[in-house]
Structure 1
Amino acid sequence: MLLDVIQGTENGGFVIIQDTVECCGRQLLQSCIAAALHREEDVHVLAFEVCEEDVRLRLDRKCEQRLCVHNGYTDPLGWSEHPLFTVHQFISEELNVHLSGSEESKPATLVIDSLSWILRHHPPAVVCQRLQELRRGGALRRVVALLHCDLHQQGIVGSLCHLATAVISVVPGDRGQQAVAKTTRRTKSGKVTHEEEYFSVKEDLTVTVESRPSHHGRPQTEEDEREVDPAANLTFNLRLSEGEKEAKEKLSLPFVFSAEKKSALLQPRPGSGRIVYDPDASDDFDPEDPDDDLAV
């Protein structure tokens, strides 16, 4: 599932890559940029946390002409007289002006590095609203954003992830340089799927999925595979002996009637009553449809 999200098999998606101080997700973000460039898409990067040289690092030189980096790293707050790009320009109208340089025949991908920087200077509700406006604008094929989830309250992280079609949470693994990607994807029909995978990023920014972790990364042992007996260490006995089983089979239950008791109960006895119903003229009774009054 991780490779499907990075390769962008669905149009109009919004992907959030969550990381923490323990495990960085910027390499996956770079892999998304490289994959979009190889799909011959125009890629626009809002760079607030790294410089333009770091964004272009390890990317294919043949595809760099389709990459446009909006430098918000040099002067993110617009303190100089002529800032290149500021955090206050995170408005759908402003971004559409910057995205208008793309060829109309090609789809464009917007990469935000990172949403955490934007959340420091915009209210969460405003950020969610502007992300929705960008997705509805039609000028973008995809939006990919990096989010440092340990810097924000869980409610803010949950609200942003609720807007996303796919969320990749990067956590450290137990296999050296490998990390674990916990991917949650929501399809257009509303179906939600989850998957955990070990992955590694190569020098050319391609992602390799190694395996799926078992028991949160702990290898499964033979003791885990053995069937556990739930009645092994109880202070009372849940099993019956052979004698108890025979006595149970011979026991006559009060609600089970024998053949003799059934025939005795069904035989008519003298003095037994009967219920006779004689409809009068006011009764609306149809003999061909006796259940007419039930409306079935």
Structure 2
Amino acid sequence: MLLDVIQGLETGGFVIIQDSVHCSGRQLLQSFVSAALKQKEDVHVVAFDVREEDLHVGLDSTCIQRLCFHDGHTDPLGWTECPPFTVHQFTSSDIHALLRQSQHEKPVILVIDSLSWVLRHHPPAVVCQCLQELRRGGTVRSMVALLHSDLHQQGTVGSLCHLATAVVSVAPGVRGQHTVAKTTKRSKSGKVTQEEECFIITQDLTVAVQAQTHHPGHRHAEQEESQVDPAAQLTFNLRLSEAEKEAKDKLSLPFVFSQEKKTALLQPRPGTGQIIYEPDANDDFDQEDPDDDLDV
């Protein structure tokens, strides 16, 4: 599933890479950038955490020429006279204006490194609203963002991940030989699928999946097999035998009428009367308020 997310950035898609102090997700973010550039996509990177030279490590020289880098790392708070890009400019209108200056013919892929820096200077609700407006603006085809999840409250992380179409959480593998990625993908129909995979990233930023640690279809079966029977240690029996089930099915309940009894009750008998009501002119019956004549 991880390779599908990397290679298939759909229109309107939003991918969040969650990392922590124990495992960095920046190299995986660079793999997303490299894969998009190799597919001839127009990629714009808004970077607050790293310099442009650090982001270029591992990228092909032809890909670097087509990469648009917006420097928010040099002066993120705008302390100099002419800052390249500040965190205060992280609004949908400013970013749309920044992307239109590049004069690309098609919508671009926006990469944010990282959302954690933005969340330090903007409320979570403002950031979520900005991301939603960017997805609907038409200038941005899809987005990929890095989020340091251990720097924020669980509610903030959950709100941002709720906006995403795919969330990739990275964690260190056994003995540091590989990295474990837990991918959660939400389809347009609302179906959510999860998968855990072990992967490595080569020098050319290609992701190679080594093993699949968990398959969604197998996990449910294993959980069912490991469930403990709550009625196994009781001193009385909660289940019925086959003979008891057969006797129960044959039992006639007192409030259930048989077909013969229904026929006997519904069949007209001689000597029965019939009530006929003919309203006169003084009757004033309101269909909307049948109880209008009552003094209540």
TM-score, structure 2 as length reference = 0.73
Q: Secondary structure at the match of 1:179?
A: strand
Residue 20 of structure 1 corresponds to: 20
Residue 192 of structure 2 corresponds to: 193
Change in CA separation of 1:24 and 1:253 when aligned onto 2, cut-off 3 Å: same
Once residues 112 and 281 of structure 1 are traced to their aligned partners in structure 2, the CA distance between those partners, rounded to angstroms, is 79
Once residues 136 and 238 of structure 1 are traced to their aligned partners in structure 2, the CA distance between those partners, rounded to angstroms, is 57
Change in CA separation of 1:9 and 1:133 when aligned onto 2, cut-off 3 Å: closer
Q: Secondary structure at the match of 1:54?
A: helix
Deviations 1:41-72 (A, max 9, x none): 12111121122222111112221111122222
Once residues 82 and 258 of structure 1 are traced to their aligned partners in structure 2, the CA distance between those partners, rounded to angstroms, is 90
Residue 283 of structure 2 corresponds to: none
Residue 120 of structure 1 corresponds to: 120
Q: Secondary structure at the match of 1:44?
A: strand
Once residues 113 and 53 of structure 2 are traced to their aligned partners in structure 1, the CA distance between those partners, rounded to angstroms, is 14
Conserved in 2, the CA contact under 8 Å of 1:30 and 1:55?
yes
Give the deviation of 1:248 after TM superposition: 7.1
The 10-residue stretch of structure 1 (53-62 or 158-167) with the greater mean CA deviation from structure 2: 158-167
Give the deviation of 1:115 after TM superposition: 0.6
- Opposite residue 200 of structure 1, the aligned amino acid is F
Residue 83 of structure 2 corresponds to: 83
Deviations 1:49-98 (A, max 9, x none): 12222211111222111112222223322333443332223233433443
Residue 294 of structure 1 corresponds to: none
Change in CA separation of 1:77 and 1:225 when aligned onto 2, cut-off 3 Å: same
Conserved in 2, the CA contact under 8 Å of 1:173 and 1:198?
no
Structure 2: give runs of 5+ residues left out of the alignment. Answer: 281-296
Residue 164 of structure 1 corresponds to: 164
Change in CA separation of 1:197 and 1:273 when aligned onto 2, cut-off 3 Å: farther
Q: Secondary structure at the match of 1:167?
A: strand
Find 1:274's aligned residue among 267, 272, 275. Answer: 272
Residue 184 of structure 2 corresponds to: 183
CA RMSD, Structure 1 to Structure 2 (Å): 4.1
Q: Secondary structure at the match of 2:6?
A: helix
Change in CA separation of 1:201 and 1:108 when aligned onto 2, cut-off 3 Å: farther
Once residues 48 and 23 of structure 2 are traced to their aligned partners in structure 1, the CA distance between those partners, rounded to angstroms, is 19
Residue 291 of structure 1 corresponds to: none
The 10-residue stretch of structure 1 (136-145 or 81-90) with the greater mean CA deviation from structure 2: 81-90
Conserved in 2, the CA contact under 8 Å of 1:16 and 1:145?
yes
Change in CA separation of 1:59 and 1:276 when aligned onto 2, cut-off 3 Å: same
Conserved in 2, the CA contact under 8 Å of 1:2 and 1:183?
no
* Mapping of residues 29-40 of structure 1, within 5 Å: 29-40=29-40
Deviations 1:127-173 (A, max 9, x none): 23332333333222122111112212233223323333333333455
Q: Secondary structure at the match of 1:158?
A: helix
Residue 110 of structure 2 corresponds to: 110
Give the deviation of 1:123 after TM superposition: 2.4
Query: What is the total number of aligned residue pairs between the two structures?
Result: 278
Change in CA separation of 1:156 and 1:55 when aligned onto 2, cut-off 3 Å: same
Conserved in 1, the CA contact under 8 Å of 2:198 and 2:213?
no
The 10-residue stretch of structure 1 (111-120 or 178-187) with the greater mean CA deviation from structure 2: 178-187
Once residues 251 and 129 of structure 1 are traced to their aligned partners in structure 2, the CA distance between those partners, rounded to angstroms, is 63
Change in CA separation of 1:42 and 1:264 when aligned onto 2, cut-off 3 Å: closer
Change in CA separation of 1:276 and 1:158 when aligned onto 2, cut-off 3 Å: same
The 10-residue stretch of structure 1 (151-160 or 233-242) with the greater mean CA deviation from structure 2: 233-242
Change in CA separation of 1:248 and 1:193 when aligned onto 2, cut-off 3 Å: closer
TM-score, structure 1 as length reference = 0.73
Once residues 146 and 160 of structure 2 are traced to their aligned partners in structure 1, the CA distance between those partners, rounded to angstroms, is 11
Give the deviation of 1:113 after TM superposition: 0.4
Give the deviation of 1:259 after TM superposition: 11
Give the percent of matched residue pairs that are identical in Structure 1 and Structure 2. Answer: 63
Q: Secondary structure at the match of 2:122?
A: coil
Change in CA separation of 1:264 and 1:79 when aligned onto 2, cut-off 3 Å: closer
Residue 143 of structure 2 corresponds to: 143
Residue 287 of structure 1 corresponds to: none
Q: Secondary structure at the match of 2:140?
A: coil
Change in CA separation of 1:66 and 1:106 when aligned onto 2, cut-off 3 Å: farther
Give the deviation of 1:233 after TM superposition: 2.0
The 10-residue stretch of structure 1 (15-24 or 141-150) with the greater mean CA deviation from structure 2: 15-24
